[in-house]
Structure formats: structure tokens, C-alpha cells
Amino acid sequence: MTQYMKVARVDDIQPGEKLRVEVDGAEVVVVNLDGTFYAIADVCTHDGGPLGEGALQGCALICPRHGARFDVRTGEALTRPAFEAAPTYAVKVLDGDVLVEAY
């Protein structure tokens, strides 16, 4: 059964914003896209850049190191120099809490 961990309150992450959290030892970025929450690894698949420090443009999170873009909904690498998708995590909202899947 999938385990979830509370990482924030819904109000802590406004639409268009992101928050870096730790889930069971993994660095994760939680993003609010127009009221829907997504979680993606805080590690760029190109060279380990901190995705959580990058800008969010629509559904794309931009690595601050070399500019690769990742779709936060799927983890897909949208532009070079990254080719590999970043891991994503299931998110659910329960009673105003944001919960992220823990492995």
C-alpha cells in the first residue's frame, strides 16, 4: 500500500509557487499549478542541479544550472541538456494538508 507523508498545508504553496521538502530522505519539489499539486525530484537528471531553485514557467520547472526544462506533471525532460525524465511522486490533498507519496 502506498504511504503518504504530510509536507505542507495547502495555503503554504500558492498557485504558481513551489516548495522544497524532504520526503522519507528524498529531496522533492512540490508545485501548485492552478490549485493542483505535483511533486518532482529536486535533482536534475542532467548533472544533479537543484530543480527547486529554478524558475517555474507554466508547467515547466527550469534547472538553474544549465536551463533544462522539466514538466512537473510527468517529470519529462522537455529540453536539453537533460534527456532523462525526473522522478515524480503522487500527491493528494486531505483536510487541507498536502501529502506526498513516500517510497
Interface residues with ligand FES (CB under 6 A) are: 44, 46-49, 63, 65-68, 81-82
CB of 33 to ligand FES, least distance (A): 21
Kindly tell me which of 75 and 98 has the beta carbon lying closer to ligand FES.
75
C-alpha cell at 40: 518532482
Kindly tell me which of 81 and 87 has the beta carbon lying closer to ligand FES.
81
Q: What is the DSSP string of 56-86?
A: EETTEEE-TTT--EEETTT--B-STT--SPP
Query: Which residues have CB under 8 Å from 26's CB, separation 6+?
Result: 41, 103
CB of 37 to ligand FES, least distance (A): 23
CB of 61 to ligand FES, least distance (A): 10
Kindly tell me which of 20 and 65 has the beta carbon lying closer to ligand FES.
65
